Amino acid sequence: MNAIHFPAERLLALFQERTVVTMPELKAALGTSVDATVFRKLATLPYRTSYSQRGAYYTLDSLAQYDALGLWSWRDVHFSRHGTLLETAATLVTAAPAGYLAQELERVVHVTVKDVLRQLVQTHRLGRDPLAGRYLYCAADRARRQEQWAARQAHAQVGDELQAALVLFYSLLDEQQRRLYAGLESLQWGQGGDRRIAECLGLDVGTVARGRQELLRGQVLRERVRRVGAVRPKAEKNARHLEYAAAPAPSGHGWRSDGTPRSLDRPAPEANQPPVAPPEPLGLSQHRASLAQAVGLRAARQS
């Protein structure tokens, strides 16, 4: 039995003619009633399925005119360079400078997104935070999420330049610095400051309280801002170094420049310590030492 061949050129000609087509039109072009046959031929082309109308429409990426967000609408049919509505929502929310409210995202993609956003949050692909009785959807990454929240607060406080500057400054800090800064603002705010600052900066109340307590107790990890590779020297080694540095340098002269003897620089012996006898001349026997003392005494008398 001879196999029936369905050339993909028929599909390409159909797309060139109509730009957007449906499954029945694709089947008619190939002369088949089997969906698997159509998808096998589509796999050889850079095609795209609509994320609206339950994916009932098809086009080619070469024919779609995507905007800066990767979206394209043909009449009331909507396509995305990112694929399905689920992938499109995840990509757009993560890339948005200030996140998205559900209503804002719906105005962008022109379809309902509440169920999709709920699914993305439940699978931890996105995060959300309450904002004025609604939810602000942000990236799953914590640092990116805080940046988006800070940008949203700066946008909401556009009339208050100082508030906007504070929010911008907060977005530039690392994790510990953000926590301490939030604690400092809470202290300045007074009663209810933890909750007020948590809502303003998109933090948990416990995080603000922790930063406030760390400031009051002085529990700040300065090592976190130390350069990579910088290691504090051991205390024992450092102590020995300081001990050697404090010891007076020996000198062959007995007098200082001001006329006082250098013996005053030496520490006085303790009271309970026996006096130490001066050492004998190095390399001299007892007889030669006595002779040297006699010669010295005679020279002193002659002088």
Determine the pLDDT at residue 249.
46
C-alpha 151 chain-centroid distance = 16
Residue 140 in any domain: the answer is: no
- For residues 174, 180, 181, 186, the Cα torsion angle rounded to the nearest 10 degrees is 150
Please check the confidence at residue 12 and state whether its pLDDT lies above 80. yes
Closest CA to 77 of 125, 34, 110, 117: 110
Residue 69 in any domain: the answer is: no
Residue 54 in any domain: the answer is: yes
Residue 48 in any domain: the answer is: yes
CA-to-CA separations, 220 to 181, 226, 230, in angstroms, rounded: 12, 13, 18
Residue 247 in any domain: the answer is: no
Determine the pLDDT at residue 267.
52
Determine the pLDDT at residue 281.
47
Phi, psi of 268 (to 5 degrees): -70, 140
pLDDT single digits (tens) 31-52: 899 999 999 999 999 999 999 9
Please check the confidence at residue 11 and state whether its pLDDT lies above 70. yes
DSSP assignment of 219-231: ---GGGGSPTT--
Residue 42: Cβ within 10 Å count:
18
Query: Ranked by mean pLDDT, which of 34-48, 167-181, 245-259, 289-303 comes out on top?
Result: 34-48
pLDDT single digits (tens) 205-240: 888 898 888 888 887 777 654 445 545 555 554 545
- The more confident residue out of 153 and 295 is 153
Q: What is the mean pLDDT of residues 68-79?
A: 95
Question: What's the number of domains the chain is made of?
Answer: 1
The pair of three-digit structure tokens given for residue 40, joined into one six-digit string: 């096998």
pTM, to two decimals: 0.53
Residue 50 in any domain: the answer is: yes
CA-to-CA separations, 256 to 144, 250, 261, 265, 268, in angstroms, rounded: 68, 12, 6, 10, 18
Segments forming the whole domain that contains residue 46: 7-62
Element (H, E) at 147: helix 142-156
pLDDT single digits (tens) 107-145: 999 999 999 999 999 999 999 998 877 899 999 999 999
Residue 41 in any domain: the answer is: yes
CATH code, domain with 53: 1.10.10
Q: Which of 169-178, 188-197, 280-289 has the weakest average pLDDT?
A: 280-289
Residue 57 in any domain: the answer is: yes
